[in-house]
Structure 1
Amino acid sequence: MHQMIASPFLDQHVLVRPGSRGGALLPAARHEELRDVDPDAPAPAWLADAFLKQWEDLADVIDQPVGKLLLVRQPSTWEYGKASWEINLGCNYACKHCYLGLKMNAGMPWEDKRRCLDIMAEAGVLFLQITGGEPTIDKDFMRAYRYAWDLGMMITVSTNGSLLWRENLLRLFRECPPYRVTVSMYGATKASYDELTQREGAWDQFVQGMGAARRARLPLRMSVVVADDNASEEQAMVDLCRSWGVETEVFTNITPTIYGGAEVLTAQSKEHLRERQPFAGCNAGRTFFHMDPNGLVSICKIGRDDQISLPQEGIEGLARMAGIGDRLMLRTGGCTGCALSGACTVCRPLAKQYQEAKAPLAAYCQHGRPKTG
């Protein structure tokens, strides 16, 4: 079982370690050298030095054959470095603000899931986010996670944390360390947490899961979600995360559902709306893609028009993604000819969702904001 991964990543080559945020750049020639190293030979001296410079705790295993220390990813003719995967839309919560809308249990059979992971690896994906719904309730989560890990992916699991106390999950994460475990936080008290998630006892599960995750020293990051039900607890949520020694990111702007539904916008705390920074473009569809539970690939979680079926089309279907992304980013519909589009704070796919939800213009567009001066 590998301790390190040497892999192409976009136009570079990197040395990374599962469970660690650190890493190092590799010259292309060094990566080429590693591809030809005898797996039963000791690690080259330069590689051992690079290991120990970045991770001193490997001193006791550095003398193992290089094949036991290192997984070497092969070059890809594709240009993808990251992907996200909704393994299932099902969830054990029913959060009022969830952008997925109706969270139905659905998904591919295991053989299709495995094939899609193989295709992702072939496409060059090094960093994979597994999300949901709640991914840990999926019947194939554990073997999908392990399979992706064995392929040499650095995995982030996005979860509500309610099941992180389970020993089978903790054992999996010990054996195959995740790059990151991102936990959504929905309140600082039982009353607000259970109200927003619409599940009695959800807070108790969250606390139990977080206690187990911290004891297991998982690489945690908290996504603090501020909504109307917990708006008075924003600082309390941040303070609790800090007391746990966990980094946080606060989210206050709720978006419509992926179907353009407005029902979740009622959960928004209007007093906590924050002005977004101008949208400066992204590489959605070019170096990144998203896959839903049925293997339908889109440029991202928001822009889901013109999906391709990865199980049916295979890796060749990804050739269309860049063109789809360019088309979806064009200012069309109500945004055609906008004089302020150069400073717009949302991408076109997100603006379309707000428009379909008939959301107040101020929620996503500069034209709806009071004029100053």
Structure 2
Amino acid sequence: MHQLIAAPYADHHLLVRPGSPRAARLPLRRYEELRTPASSVAPAWLADAARLAWDMELSEQAVNEIVLVRNHSPYGYGRASYELNLGCNYDCEHCYLGLKQFSGLDWPDRERLLHVVRDAGVLWFQLTGGEPMIDKFFPETYELAYELGMLVKILTNGSRLATARNLALLTRLRPNRITLSLYGATADAYDGLTRRRGAYRMFLKGLDAAHEAGLPLDLALIITRHNAHEADQMRAFADRYALPYREYTHMSPTIYGGAETLATQAPNHLADREPFRGCNAGHTFFHVDPHGMASICKVGRDDAIPLMTTGVEGLSRLGGVADSLMLRTGGCTGCQLSGTCRVCRPLAKVYQEAEAPLDRYCQHSTTRS
């Protein structure tokens, strides 16, 4: 299995190592040299780069056994996310997935989908759900994505991290990052939010096993009305493990248009969003749902493209979809303050369709005319 990946990314080339956040800029001539090596032995410059970036000593293996060289893609997508399944072993009432149905692609179609993602140029690939590790094809999906030369990030509740098969797989083929959601600092708060007795115990078991294995971890602190009283304890929990974390306080309507999730917000903990300045959703990034439908992101799911029938060529339409979804229409038409709006148009549309109170998503709710 490869130790390094050489890949086009945006308008340049990178040398990356699975399991490491570091990357080295690769001149075009060096990238081309790796594509068609003059000899089977790793060149001296590659050994120097590996030593400098990762303190890594290359063995006497052939260069094509050390480096996986990714081909150029005409589609130019560097990142993507994939919901393996909407099913979950928790029942959090704040979850934007709503129904959490267990359904998705069979293995032959999923295998084809992963090749489509690779052919789109994706280097950073996020596996999510639902809970991805309870999906019956999670190990096969993860391993194939890794073999195809993608740096894999996993979003998980951690409840299945300690299982022997998953831990062995992730230790052998290291992910780029594992982000665990933290739903409370005590069993009472954690189990209460997830509505699953023993969930906190499973989370700790998974976190401890992954931490001991030296896997790259960080935490997502989910702060709702159920656990807001433990916010400081949750931060202290992350500090005890010396793990980086981000806090999430804004709950979104469900992907089916339900507003029931909004009641879980802790109003005193809502953090101000930065003004929205645009993003590359649909242009250099895309999202795939469990049935192979590609959209610009997890929020903007309108006009999704069926990759199982269109193949990678279908992604050529996604940029136009993104541009149309980013237009400020509907409930935002005529707003004179849209230049400082803190939510993107697709997210505002989700709130509006759920008939959410304006103050749930618009910082101008008290000044809008």
Q: TM-score range by the shorter chain?
A: over 0.9
What are the within-5 Å matches in structure 2 for residues 147-162 of structure 1?
147-162=144-159
**Aligned counterparts of 1:128 and 1:70: Cα–Cα separation in 2:** 19
Contact 1:285/1:298 (<8 A) preserved:
yes
**Aligned counterparts of 1:369 and 1:258: Cα–Cα separation in 2:** 27
1:328 is aligned to 325
**Aligned counterparts of 1:17 and 1:165: Cα–Cα separation in 2:** 24
Contact 1:48/1:62 (<8 A) preserved:
no
1:239 is aligned to 236
2:155 is aligned with 1:163: no
2:131 is aligned with 1:134: yes
Structure 1 residue runs of 5 or longer lacking an equivalent are none
In structure 1, what residue type is equivalent to 2:48?
D
Q: Deviations over 1:56-76 (max 9, x none)?
A: 1x22x4332212211111111
2:15 is aligned with 1:32: no
Residue 369 of structure 1 deviates from its aligned partner by: 3.2
**Aligned counterparts of 1:46 and 1:369: Cα–Cα separation in 2:** 60
**Aligned counterparts of 1:362 and 1:264: Cα–Cα separation in 2:** 15
1:14 is aligned to 14
Q: Deviations over 1:97-134 (max 9, x none)?
A: 10111100000111111111101111100000000000
**Aligned counterparts of 1:215 and 1:351: Cα–Cα separation in 2:** 42
Secondary structure at the counterpart of residue 229 of structure 1: coil
Q: Specify which of 282, 289, 292 is matched with residue 286 of structure 2.
A: 289
**Aligned counterparts of 1:370 and 1:269: Cα–Cα separation in 2:** 23
Residue 258 of structure 1 deviates from its aligned partner by: 1.3
Q: Deviations over 1:282-317 (max 9, x none)?
A: 011000000000000000000000001001111111
Secondary structure at the counterpart of residue 367 of structure 1: coil
In structure 2, what residue type is equivalent to 1:43?
A
In structure 1, what residue type is equivalent to 2:356?
A
Residue 370 of structure 1 deviates from its aligned partner by: 6.0
In structure 2, what residue type is equivalent to 1:266?
A
**Aligned counterparts of 1:228 and 1:274: Cα–Cα separation in 2:** 14
Residue 187 of structure 1 deviates from its aligned partner by: 0.2
Percent sequence identity over matched residues? 52
1:23 is aligned to 23
Secondary structure at the counterpart of residue 5 of structure 1: strand
Q: Specify which of 279, 299, 302 is matched with residue 302 of structure 1.
A: 299
2:223 is aligned to 226
2:47 is aligned with 1:41: no
**Aligned counterparts of 1:69 and 1:323: Cα–Cα separation in 2:** 39
Secondary structure at the counterpart of residue 282 of structure 2: coil
Secondary structure at the counterpart of residue 289 of structure 1: strand
**Aligned counterparts of 2:255 and 2:334: Cα–Cα separation in 1:** 25
TM-score (norm 1): 0.97
1:53 is aligned to 52
Structure 2 residue runs of 5 or longer lacking an equivalent are none
Contact 1:259/1:353 (<8 A) preserved:
no
**Aligned counterparts of 2:243 and 2:331: Cα–Cα separation in 1:** 42
Residue 368 of structure 1 deviates from its aligned partner by: 1.1
In structure 2, what residue type is equivalent to 1:67?
N
TM-score (norm 2): 0.98
1:96 is aligned to 93
Residue 364 of structure 1 deviates from its aligned partner by: 1.2
Kindly report the root-mean-square deviation, in angstroms, between the aligned alpha carbons of the 2 structures: 1.1
**Aligned counterparts of 1:259 and 1:186: Cα–Cα separation in 2:** 23
**Aligned counterparts of 1:318 and 1:156: Cα–Cα separation in 2:** 22
Residue 366 of structure 1 deviates from its aligned partner by: 3.2
Secondary structure at the counterpart of residue 178 of structure 1: coil
**Aligned counterparts of 1:221 and 1:48: Cα–Cα separation in 2:** 30
354-363 or 187-196: bigger deviation: 354-363
**Aligned counterparts of 1:54 and 1:264: Cα–Cα separation in 2:** 44
**Aligned counterparts of 1:136 and 1:354: Cα–Cα separation in 2:** 30
